[in-house]
Amino acid sequence: MDEQAGHRFEDIAIPQVHARSHTPARVSVDLPARLRLMTSSAFVFPGQGSQSVGMGQALAAASPAAAAVLATADAALGESISQLAATGPADRLDRTENAQPALLAVSIAYLAAVRERWGALGIEAPVPAFAAGHSMGQYSAFVAAGVISIEDGVRLVRERGRLMQASGAGRDGAMAAILGLDDAAVPALVERASAHGVFGVANRNAPGQVVVSGERAAIEASADIARELGARKAIVLPVSVAAHSPLMAEAADGMRRVLADVPFRDPSITLLSNSGAEPITTAAAARTELVAHLTAGVDWVAAVERMRAAGVTTFIEVGPGRVLTGLIKRIAPDAEVLALDDRASPDRLAVPFATATTA
């Protein structure tokens, strides 16, 4: 991880567990300037698509806290979702009903691991100004903010995946990625493609990058329309679920019934809605969000811009992969963006608030 010089914490004493003596080792800890102020950071949580076989395996081996999270998720589901994440096979892990609980469990395992590491360094775990999730990542953010438990979280996203797969039966759903289309042309794309069936923007991921969703006829027509409007590329995706579209109305109704029996608490961290980046500060608003975001789009650009406007200078991606890191760099090039999934580390864990070396 890159360091910013000139901001040194006081030396922190950490006992040497390998020595007979109780004389502490001295550890010097450098804190990047932008990370010293806890209110200037935000945790962001990835959604489906960030999963990969092997995720969480090295982390659990290196961190008792991460291993405990994964064990809790396994017990809640009555099966080893952590083993599926670790060893696959990929086609089974990629199924919506498996990918979503696996991602949530591994994302929260990353959070537990980095908090454990902070504790070992003698650093109080920071409370970020925001926790924001991309699509299914909302559930991870809600667990991180104490709105729902990890047990309820993994059970809920499993049911969410099943309901999404079943929703819109008899109506052929599809999605497409539109790249290089000027944002000003998106309304024209929506208007023209909607003449061919249900159609809308599922994700506004970054400037010039949107994902559209709806009935297959409208999606296939939108690819040609987007190219006519100046898009560099339009790709119909190999999915059958029209996520974040009106075709998910049945899934939304199903989740409303399921969520009614789950206890919610007010968030300890400010959350943001997926569709409008509005602050979520109560349990009631959180419950509403998890229903509404199934049929509404994810405006990730608006979420990042809202956090930047509120003073966030550092974004920390909590979970496997670096999808959100790449998107945020495009939305806010001047922001500090860090991913906990450090592929160069043996335990795949970056520790963003400190770099410790024994003196």
For the chain, list the domains and their CATH numbers.
Answer: 12-167+246-358 (3.40.366.10), 173-236 (3.30.70.250)
Residue whose C-alpha is closest to residue 298's, from 196, 180, 185, 175: 175
pLDDT of 353: 67
Q: Provide the pLDDT for residue 70.
A: 98
Residue that the structure tokens 């969000």 belong to: 289
Give me the mean pLDDT over the 156-185 stretch. Answer: 92
What six digits make up the tokens of 324? 């959100």
* 282 close to 268: Cβ distance less than 8 angstroms: no
Q: Long-range CB contacts (< 8 A, 24+ apart) of 291-294? A: 291/252, 291/255, 291/256, 291/259, 292/252, 293/135, 293/138, 293/244, 294/160, 294/164, 294/243, 294/244, 294/248, 294/251, 294/252, 294/255
Pull the structure tokens for residue 304.
Answer: 């990042």
CB neighbours (10 Å) of residue 97? 16
Residues with Cβ within 8 Å of residue 153, at least 6 apart in sequence? 104, 108, 139, 140, 142, 143
Sequence-distant (≥ 6) Cβ neighbours of residue 162 within 8 angstroms: 96, 97
Return mean pLDDT, the chain: 87
Cβ count within 10 A of residue 91: 8
Mean pLDDT lowest among 19-23, 34-38, 271-275: 19-23
Specify whether the CB–CB gap between 135 and 244 falls below 8 A. Answer: yes
Burial of 184 (0-12, 13-18, 19+ CB in 10 A): exposed
* pLDDT single digits (tens) 106-119: 999 999 999 999 99
239 band by pLDDT with thresholds 50, 70 and 90:
confident
- Residue 5 — pLDDT band, cuts 50, 70, 90? very low
Q: Which residues pair with 132 in a beta bridge?
A: 44
Q: In what order do the strands lie in the sheet with 12-14?
A: 12-14, 25-30, 355-358
Range scoring the smallest mean pLDDT among 3-17, 86-100, 146-160, 330-344:
3-17
Q: Output phi, psi for 244, to 5 deg.
A: 55, 45
Q: What is the pLDDT of residue 170?
A: 74
Which of the two residues, 20 and 211, has the higher pLDDT score? 211
Interior/surface letters 320-359, b for 16+ CB within 10 angstroms, e for the rest: bbbbbbebbeebbeebbbbbbbbeeeeebbbbbbbbbeee
Q: Which two tokens stand for residue 305?
A: 């811009």
Asked if 34 and 314 touch (Cβ cutoff 8 Å), the reply is yes
Q: Is the pLDDT of residue 22 over 80?
A: no
Q: What is the pTM of this model?
A: 0.87
Which positions ≥6 away from 125 have C-beta within 8 Å? 115, 118, 119
Task: Name residues whose C-beta falls within 8 Å of residue 148's C-beta, 6 or more positions apart in sequence.
Answer: 139, 142, 156, 262, 263, 264, 265
- Residues annotated catalytic, as ranges: 135, 244
**Strand-strand pairing, 336-339 and 314-317:** parallel
Assign 272 to helix, strand or coil: strand
Residue 24 falls in which region: left (phi positive, over 0), alpha (psi -120 to 50) or beta: beta
Q: CA–CA distance from 110 to each of 43, 221, 345 (Å)?
A: 12, 41, 13
Which residues have a Cβ under 8 Å from the Cβ of 334 and sit 6 or more positions away? none
State the average pLDDT over residues 56-82: 97
**Mean pLDDT value of segment 294-319:** 96
Distance CA 124, CA 131 (A): 18
CA-closest candidate to residue 100, choices 163, 174, 167, 49:
49
Range 55-80 average pLDDT: 97
